[in-house]
Amino acid sequence: MSKHARAEQLMLEALVEPLTAEQRAWLDAHLDSCAECARLGESTGTAVRALRTAAVRLPAGLAERTRMRVYLRTAGEGGRRPWRWPVWVSCGVSWAIGAASAPYVWRGFEWAGRLAGVSDAVWKACFGLWWAAPALASVAILLAERTGGRTALESEE
């Protein structure tokens, strides 16, 4: 890296954080001996000071509207989060109980299907729906919460 590139790098770093004593001493010595880098440092400093003092006009009420939106967003998030863990726990417990009782329920569906005289495909489909019902209910609850209770047609408007 050339002396000029190092000086430029140190000048930029000095805008963000203080330089070490060694870096500051090297930069000062280089700026004393190099007019080009000294001009660059002065113009950069002038530009940064101008940017720091520039007034930016914001629309009236922007800060208050932003504050209100942040408040509403955090209030909305705070109201949603706590009830999610019971949904996940109940879904997990339901699946564990479902897995443990599956052989018995299978036999029950088979017995009920034969007793009712329905085909094997019907009682097997009913068994599959029994198995999937907790997951489908959990998905429906989570989707309703995510959309804020709105239906698909309401969210398109």
Higher-pLDDT residue of 133 and 27 is 27
pLDDT of 2 strictly over 70: yes
| 111 assigned to some structural domain | yes
Contact 27, 7 (CB under 8 A): yes
Q: Domain count of the chain?
A: 2
Single out the residue of 138, 137, 107 nearest to residue 124, CA to CA: 107
**So what's the pLDDT on residue 82?**
61
Same structural domain for residues 98 and 43?
no
Same structural domain for residues 149 and 99?
yes
**So what's the pLDDT on residue 77?**
59
C-alpha separations of 129 from 11, 101, 125 in Å: 69, 15, 6
H helix count then E strand count, the chain: 7, 0
| 136 assigned to some structural domain | yes
Same structural domain for residues 86 and 139?
yes
| 142 assigned to some structural domain | yes
Proportion of the chain above pLDDT 90, given as a percent: 29
Higher-pLDDT residue of 134 and 152 is 134
| 63 assigned to some structural domain | no
Same structural domain for residues 93 and 41?
no
**So what's the pLDDT on residue 81?**
56
What is the tens place of the pLDDT at every residue in 66-106? 888 888 887 765 555 566 777 778 778 877 888 898 899 88
| 59 assigned to some structural domain | no
Same structural domain for residues 96 and 151?
yes
Same structural domain for residues 137 and 94?
yes
The residue segments making up the domain with residue 123 are 81-156
Same structural domain for residues 95 and 136?
yes
* Average pLDDT of every residue of the chain: 83
**So what's the pLDDT on residue 153?**
46
Same structural domain for residues 33 and 85?
no
Higher-pLDDT residue of 110 and 132 is 110
* Across 101-117, average pLDDT: 90
Same structural domain for residues 101 and 143?
yes
| 145 assigned to some structural domain | yes
Same structural domain for residues 49 and 92?
no
**So what's the pLDDT on residue 157?**
45
* Across 21-37, average pLDDT: 92
Give 90's contacts (C-beta < 8 A, 6+ positions apart): 134, 138
Single out the residue of 63, 97, 86 nearest to residue 141, CA to CA: 86
